[in-house]
């Protein structure tokens, strides 16, 4: 996985290093939506049964074009996280667990884009991304039904970003840095561009445990992205 990230970073660097005199440069706003989830594994190979969480994406992007190939860096505010909605039932008891986590990132994707007909047409793109977590919030609700008795437990918690988990049990701990790769398809007409991509986190955002031992959990961001960009100055 790390070799894939290195290869994509190399592609972006080579494209950026092309002669500036030949480049057609434009830039503009980007808005979109994220459908975010976690890839979650432990040493016991347990997988968290989570679902996609809807989030926003907004920022600015540049297009540095060299014919059919372009380098498109962007600076984005990106909401990630996950959602859980589980139910467990037995003859005498029914319990449900609902949880939602939102992580807010400052994200820099560095994509190399190939457009079939130069300024217009179908696109394919790929590249690395760098994410820096800004803040996070979580909430959960547990419901228990036993016969005619109902019990509901609700709570909210803050997220703290650190390389080592802390001692405050009322917080969730994650690493701040998120590295990964993005790839997908799109379509460009004049200054308008629509893209559908998948952002695959490569770095483990689970921190070391309280004894500073390596984390037993492997948590990586997974994010389906839909973005719309308008490039000012595009031909």
Give me 103's structure tokens. 């992580």
Neighbours of 231 (CB within 10 A): 25
**Rounded Cα distance, 29 and 233, in Å:** 12
> How far does the chain reach from its first CA to its final CA, in angstroms?
37
Does residue 180 contact residue 221 with C-beta atoms inside 8 Å? yes
Residue 21, phi-psi category: left (phi > 0), alpha (psi -120 to 50), beta (remainder):
alpha
* pTM of this structure: 0.82
pLDDT tens track, the chain, 235 positions? 555 555 555 555 554 454 444 788 999 999 999 999 998 877 654 455 678 899 999 999 999 999 899 999 999 999 999 988 877 766 777 778 788 999 999 999 999 999 998 788 999 999 999 999 999 999 988 887 776 677 788 889 999 999 999 999 889 999 999 999 999 999 999 999 999 999 999 999 999 988 888 888 889 999 999 999 999 986 6
Q: Which helix (H) or strand (E) holds 9?
A: helix 2-16
**Rounded Cα distance, 79 and 131, in Å:** 11
Give me 105's structure tokens. 């990132």
Q: Which helix (H) or strand (E) holds 143?
A: strand 120-146
Give me 75's structure tokens. 């600076």
């Amino acid at each position: 996985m790390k070799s894939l990230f290195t290869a994509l970073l190399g592609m972006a660097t080579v494209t950026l290093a092309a002669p500036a005199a030949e480049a057609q440069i434009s830039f503009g706003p980007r808005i979109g939506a994220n459908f975010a989830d976690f890839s979650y594994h432990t040493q016991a190979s347990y997988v968290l049964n989570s679902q996609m969480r809807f989030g926003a994406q907004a920022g600015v992007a540049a297009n540095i074009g060299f014919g059919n190939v372009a380098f498109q860096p962007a600076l984005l505010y990106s909401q990630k996280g996950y959602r859980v909605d589980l139910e467990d039932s037995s003859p005498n008891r029914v319990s449900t667990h609902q949880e939602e986590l939102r992580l807010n990132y400052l994200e820099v994707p560095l994509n190399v884009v190939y457009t079939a007909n130069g300024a217009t047409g179908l696109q394919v793109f790929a590249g690395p991304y760098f994410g820096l977590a800004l803040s996070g919030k979580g909430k959960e609700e547990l419901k228990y039904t036993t016969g005619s008795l109902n019990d509901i437990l609700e709570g909210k918690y803050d997220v703290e970003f650190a390389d080592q988990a802390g001692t405050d049990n009322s917080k969730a701990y994650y690493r701040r840095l998120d590295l990964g790769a993005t790839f997908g398809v799109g379509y460009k007409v004049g200054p308008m561009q629509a893209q559908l991509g998948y952002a695959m986190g490569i770095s483990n955002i689970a921190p070391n445990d309280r004894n500073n031992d390596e984390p037993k959990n492997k948590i990586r961001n997974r994010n389906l992205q839909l973005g719309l960009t308008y490039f000012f100055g595009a031909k």
